Chains A and B, each alone.
Chain A
Amino acid sequence: MSRNADNWLLKVTDLTKIYGEPNENTLALTGPEYNSNICPETDSIVACANISFDLYPGEVLGIVGESGSGKSTVVKLLYLDMEQTSGSARFMPYIDGSINMLDASSQKKRYIKNYLMGMVYQNPRDGLNFNFTSGGNIAEKLIMAGNYHVGDIRARASDLLIKTEIPVLRMDDQPVTFSGGMQQRVQISKAIANDPPLLFLDEVTTGLDVSVQAKVLDLIRELQQDLGITMIVVSHDLSVIRMLTDRTLVMKNGRVVEGGLTDQILQDPQHEYSQLLVSSLL
């Protein structure tokens, strides 16, 4: 398939989120050069600023950086979990990318989230309703996207559980009775239930033991290979980034300090912070 320069799925431009009351110096006085995201004049907090990138169909983009660097903020803004201070995101599946989806009405945003995106959080409790069964959680996502046929929903739920290696027998059990790795796989099933064109994964293997991590990573890689889902993967673990992503953005103090091909970021990091990150973690 040939690609032209405009063949993006998601185009993010100058995405910025600031908490508090910034002034005109806030952006100039924060960032990696100051090793801070707190504006010294206004005490406002720059969670992320001027984030721009294009994501192509089928691509897996990694975002790495230390705690507080703004990785999750970027994902939450794009998943429409919070409102941006400024900036835009155009998303091809939503009105052919012609408008900024971040400014859509809340009803339209619900549509985008339910039909066009999936999200897997670090903590399964953020993505799953623990009062529902595992099948019920998947059904919830399907119902929100307009599927009401119980038989179809159960059939789809059991397909997804098989795909994510959860015994179908446990479809009617609550995730609270599942292990951490199983919960994470139920969360992934729910996130991909509607075949979303874009999937966000926020620190999905953090806190899982290595063998369980391996299973979750293998599942994500299979989804990527077999379904070609476009993904944004947030992680502070460079081995996760290496295994899953084509391109990587390195964030520090709310800014992208470097972006490039993942093998380049890992083998020839340019920015001081990327060099520190790679040397600390390899």
Chain B
Amino acid sequence: MNILEVNDLSKAFHLHILNGKKITALKNINFSMKEGEIIGLTGMSGSGKSSLMKCIYRTYITSSGQIMYRSRSGMIDLVKADDHKIIELRKNEITYCSQFLSVIPRVSAVDVVCENLFRIEKNKAHARVQAKNMLENLGLPPELWDAFPVTFSGGEQQRINVARAIIAKPRFLLIDEPTASLDARTKDVVINMLLKMKDSGTSVLVVSHDEYTLAQLTDRRIELKAGEITVDQMVTNENIS
């Protein structure tokens, strides 16, 4: 069963403050995604990968087309859905993990990770134990757990970023460069965590430039070039060289 069907999606930015300049980010995007599938989104910088994720997450307003999402309560067009519906889906089903950690200041690493979990796990102590376990698996030193992530290194921030995105086990995960700036061991930990989520039914759209991550993780790859899909193929053993 498809969890997502994107039909004729286009996105352009109209920059009124630059004399109405129009920048096309995506055109004629068509693809569907099965429940539990992991699709790798590839392409050069500026090809529209993040724009596509942001259109799906509704951070961007899609210019035309449909994004049909099969929610727990039925099909819904994410392009047209009411803001309140989107907020509800973000709380309960869809998580977006951007490339860079952006967090509320003065919140400890553990509580940043717990943010989404607090909504479902009312016992904060239990939630924090889960978060600490996850940070331990990701190799974040315990002395950093109560510190503020703003001052962390790139790799440490990335661990926090991934941990907070997956801890509440979303139904549909949009994740941008999950293994960038991670060492090989941690990379494998993240890949295994994502594969485990897939096994429990999570669908994942992942942007990555890392061939190893893509090969380990994805069932299918979609390549974008200048805002259009140029390749959409299943990953088989033959085409991993």
Contact = CB atoms under 8 A, between A and B. Distances in A.
A107 B197 CA distance: 57
Interface stretch (B11-19, B26-34, B178-186, B198-206): B11-19
A268 B61 CA distance: 7
A71 B105 CA distance: 26
Contact of B87 (A246, A267, A272, A275): A246
Nearest to A260: B83
Contacts, number: 51
A59 interface: yes
A261 B17 contact: no
A268 B17 contact: no
Interface string B88-120: 100000000000000011100000000000100
A218 B54 CA distance: 28
A270 interface: yes
Interface string B1-20: 00000000000011111000
A3 B61 contact: no
B38 to A, nearest CB: 25
Given A225-B118, A243-B104, A268 B60 contact: yes
A263 B59 contact: yes
A263 B84 CA distance: 14
Contacts of B87: 56, 59, 246-247, 261
A252 B209 CA distance: 42
Contacts of A275: 15-17
Interface residues of B, number: 21
A252 to B, nearest CB: 13
A270 B118 CA distance: 33
Interface string A1-44: 01101000000000000000000000000000000000000000
Contacts of B150: none
Where chain B touches its partner, the secondary structure class is mixed
Interface in B10-57: 13-17, 54
23 contacts: A3-B84, A3-B88, A56-B84, A56-B87, A218-B106, A243-B105, A246-B87, A261-B83, A261-B86, A263-B59, A264-B58, A264-B59, A264-B61, A267-B54, A267-B59, A267-B60, A268-B61, A270-B14, A270-B61, A271-B16, A272-B16, A272-B17, A275-B16
Contacts of A247: 83, 87
Interface in A232-282: 243, 246-247, 259-261, 263-264, 267-268, 270-272, 275-276, 279
Contacts of B105: 214, 243
A154 interface: no
A257 to B, nearest CB: 11
Contacts of A159: none
B133 interface: no
A261 B106 CA distance: 24
A268 B83 contact: no
A268 B54 contact: yes
Nearest to A54: B84
Contact of B13 (A59, A225, A246, A268): A268
Interface string B171-192: 0000000000000000000000
